[in-house]
Every structure is written in structure tokens, then in C-alpha cells.
């Protein structure tokens, strides 16, 4: 009985923090049910009746073209970044070679440099390869991911048994088969955690698409949403409605993989 009484304050605190965290999301939903003029008039906590009009504005635009572009960019970026990071992390954790420590420290240093510093050089590089204005620069930027290499290296150092790799080699397994058949299943929580993070970062990326994309048919969601409205006034309510639709893939991904995501984070924190 005493234990139950002691847990009551914790439950209350968790409930209050959860409500405070949910409040901005609820307010976003409410704003999507009002017109732009009503949104600009002030804070409303009661849903309105303008949701269908906002949905019509969004659906009658090229919103789902931008939605498809974002899906393509985020999924391909996530898969390529995950494969490269896992392979590099496996190499760092399982192999001994000259200059390994220097190379690993260099990877850590890349995490300390703001990505905006290299944006102009990256833009010029993409134009040199005649990729400017396409979706590929938004994908290539995520492939050499310093955090991903660091994350996979630390996870593999603590979860991968060297004896398992040696046994596979004695049985005649090649390095590629070892990587995909043994290493990848062993680090599934780390893979899912990294994939969710890369997907989230790529999906929400705004500055790089703003710099690289100059064609409306290649707009991603963050770029396209700001175009909703007419030439005289932005339709803020429709933009908020578009944002709500854009949140659905993120919520679905975290709902499906939340257990593995939390497991990956906790195992990495405890073992690392």
C-alpha cells in the first residue's frame, strides 16, 4: 500500500509532463480546423468547422507530389546511410589496421563541424556533376554520416562476439555474407534506431532543399507547404493542415518501431 502511495506523485508528474508535451500538437490540430483569418485573430482551444475547406485546399494542390518526393528522398537516404554506417562501423569494430584510431577520430571531428559550413562547397560539387536542382543531392548528403558510423561502431564493439565471426570464417563464409547474415541481425535495434533518426532528419530538412531545389515538381514537403496560398497572402491554416498530414509517416514509423528504438537507445547507453 505504501509503495502505491509513493508512486502517486510520480504518476501525476508524468501525466502533467505528458499533457504539456501534447499541448502544442493539440493546438496544431485545432488551428487546422479554423480559417487563416481566425488563426490570426488569436489563440483558440476549441476546434472549428473549417477543416474540410483546408483539406480541399491541400488536396487540390500538388501536395502529394511533394509528399512522394519526401518519401523517396527519406527512404533512399535512410537505407543508404544505414548500409554505409553499418559497414563502416563493422570495419572499425572488427578489424585492426594501420591508422584506424586516426580515421575514427576524424569521423568524430566531422560531427563537431556544422553542416552549413560545407553547404556552398557541396552545392558547387553537385552542380559540377550536373545534379543541381534534382533530388539526388538531398540523398547523397546523408550517406557519409559521422554520427551513424560512431553509433554503429560503439554498438558493435559491445554486442558483436569476435568468436562468432571467426567461426563463420572457418565455415567458409565470405565477408559480405558474414556482414549481411550475421552482423546485421545482431545489431537490429541499432539499425532501427539509426534509420528512424535519419528518416526524421531527412523528412524535416528544409535548408538544403531550399538551396538545392529550384523546380516546383521537385519540392519536398517543407518547401511545398510554404507555397500554399495565393500571391497576396499565405494560407496559414492550409499550411498547418499540410503539416499535420506530413506528421503521419513519422507517427506511424515511431509507433511500429518504438520498442526497438527504445531498446537501441538504452542498450547503447548502458553498454557504451
Distance (Å, rounded) from C-alpha 55 to C-alpha 236?
A: 12
Quote the pLDDT of residue 40: 84
pLDDT digits (tens, 9 = 90+) for 174-219: 888 888 988 898 888 889 999 999 999 999 999 999 999 988 899 9
Query: Closest Cα to residue 123, out of 213, 185, 50?
Result: 213
The answer to whether the Cα torsion of 240, 243, 248, 253 is positive or negative is negative
CA 71/CA 164 separation, integer angstroms = 37
> How far is 74 from 69, CA to CA, in rounded Å?
8
Which is more confidently placed, 227 or 72? 72
Least confident of 5-14, 114-123, 244-253: 5-14
What pLDDT, on the 0 to 100 scale, is given for residue 270?
A: 46
* Average pLDDT in the chain: 87
DSSP state, 143?
A: S
pTM (predicted TM-score): 0.86
pLDDT above 90: residue 81: yes
pLDDT per position as a tens digit, 13-42: 888 998 888 888 888 899 999 998 888 887
In terms of Cβ atoms closer than 10 Å to its own Cβ (0-12, 13-18, 19+), residue 7 is exposed
Is residue 272 helix, strand or coil?
coil
Q: What is the rounded average pLDDT of the residues 231-248? A: 86
70 near 76, Cβ under 8 Å? no
Closest CA to 214 of 115, 118, 121, 126: 126
Contact between residue 227 and residue 219 where contact means Cβ atoms under 8 Å apart: yes
Q: How many CB atoms lie within 10 A of CB 85?
A: 27
**Residues 132-171: tens digit of each pLDDT:** 889 999 999 999 899 999 999 988 888 877 788 888 888 8
Q: What is the DSSP code (8-state) at residue 234?
A: B
Q: 261 pLDDT exceeds 80?
A: no
The string over 95-126, giving b where at least 16 C-beta atoms fall within 10 Å of a residue's C-beta and e elsewhere, is eeeeeeeeebeebeeeeeeeeeeeeeebeeeb
Closest to 271 measured CA to CA, from 199, 189, 196, 195: 189
**Residues contacting 79, CB < 8 A, separation 6+:** 195
Amino acid at each position: 500500500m505504501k509503495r502505491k502511495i509513493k508512486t502517486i506523485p510520480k504518476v501525476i508528474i508524468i501525466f502533467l509532463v505528458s499533457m504539456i508535451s501534447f499541448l502544442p500538437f493539440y493546438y496544431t490540430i485545432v488551428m487546422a480546423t479554423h480559417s487563416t483569418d481566425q488563426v490570426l485573430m488569436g489563440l483558440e482551444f476549441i476546434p472549428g468547422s473549417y477543416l474540410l475547406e483546408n483539406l480541399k485546399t491541400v488536396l487540390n494542390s500538388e501536395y502529394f507530389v511533394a509528399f512522394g518526393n519526401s518519401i523517396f528522398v527519406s527512404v533512399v537516404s535512410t537505407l543508404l546511410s544505414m548500409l554505409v554506417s553499418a559497414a563502416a562501423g563493422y570495419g572499425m569494430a572488427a578489424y585492426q589496421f594501420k591508422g584506424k584510431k586516426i580515421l575514427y577520430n576524424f569521423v568524430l571531428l566531422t560531427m563537431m563541424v556544422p553542416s552549413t559550413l560545407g553547404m556552398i562547397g557541396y552545392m558547387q560539387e553537385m552542380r559540377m556533376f550536373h545534379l543541381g536542382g534534382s533530388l539526388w543531392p538531398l540523398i547523397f548528403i546523408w550517406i557519409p554520416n559521422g554520427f551513424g558510423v560512431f553509433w554503429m561502431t560503439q554498438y558493435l564493439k559491445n554486442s558483436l562476439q569476435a568468436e562468432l565471426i571467426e567461426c563463420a570464417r572457418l565455415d567458409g563464409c565470405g565477408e559480405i555474407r558474414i556482414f549481411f547474415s550475421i552482423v546485421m541481425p545482431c545489431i537490429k535495434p541499432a539499425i532501427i534506431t539509426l534509420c528512424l533518426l535519419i528518416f526524421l532528419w531527412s523528412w524535416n530538412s528544409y535548408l538544403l532543399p531550399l538551396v538545392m531545389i529550384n523546380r516546383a515538381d521537385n519540392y519536398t514537403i517543407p518547401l511545398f507547404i510554404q507555397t500554399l496560398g495565393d500571391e497576396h497572402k499565405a494560407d496559414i491554416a492550409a499550411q498547418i493542415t499540410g503539416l499535420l498530414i506530413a506528421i503521419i509517416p513519422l507517427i506511424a514509423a515511431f509507433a511500429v518501431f518504438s520498442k526497438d528504438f527504445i531498446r537501441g537507445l538504452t542498450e547503447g547507453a548502458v553498454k557504451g
